[in-house]
Amino acid sequence: MSVDRPLVVWSDESLAIVDKPAGLLVHPAPGNPGPSLVEELGPLLGGGTDPDRPGIVHRLDRETSGLLVVARGPEAHKALSAMIAAREVTREYVALVEGCPPSRTGRIDAPLGRDHRAPERVVVGGRRPRPAVTHFEVRERLSREALLDIRLETGRTHQIRIHLAGIGHPILGDAQHGGELARRHPARPPRLALHAAVLGFAHPVSGEPRRYEAPLPDDLAGWLTALPRSSTT
């Protein structure tokens, strides 16, 4: 399967903003063959102690599209990593989920840890759970789905996917965490219906506020347009 190339939205000597296509790994990983963002960007990246992950300060799942900030040198890598740890980077997503939450807005506070029986899996609770908080707002109600705007307060592995599945509204196309609801839904999305739409932070060198937005890519946008809307107002 061919994968689109990442788009460098903006860059300077310290960092770059990248729009990652779905299907592209952020960095090489055991058991996950295929091209990666690190391989595609090559010498643009720098900083950090892991030679397999130069410049990487946060990640998106392979099937998630959208925006990341990457470092181009050690000083920027250190500063951006500290900002993310201090929750000073705004990360907002768009997701299409099964059903619709009963309230227009919500806050999910459910620590995530490693499954005791399958350590490769992340679950609510689990071994050595770490705080995880996700905020959501219903943007649009469809006939049997809802389009949500999501803001991360923390950034744990698969956090959005696990949290939304945990409240009974899994992301469509999420075979790993969505269970039967997501797998057997008749809408059949082209891939995981999750997109990193907004990234905001203060530039680690100049302090200038920066905010970037990425519209839904064509695969999700076209599919979403074709879904039936609710007949109620």
Domains of the chain: 1-86 (3.30.2350.10), 90-233 (3.30.2350.10)
Cβ proximity of 145 and 170 under 8 Å: no
| Cα gap 185→180, rounded to integer Å | 8
* Active site positions, annotated: 61
For 128-153, how does the pLDDT look when each residue is reduced to its tens digit (9 = 90+)?
889 999 999 999 999 889 999 999 99
Are 92 and 197 spatial neighbours (Cβ–Cβ below 8 Å)?
yes
pLDDT in tens, 189-201: 889 999 999 999 9
pTM as predicted? 0.92
Q: DSSP assignment, residue 171?
A: B
Note the pLDDT tens digit of each residue in 38-69: 999 999 999 999 998 999 999 999 999 999 99
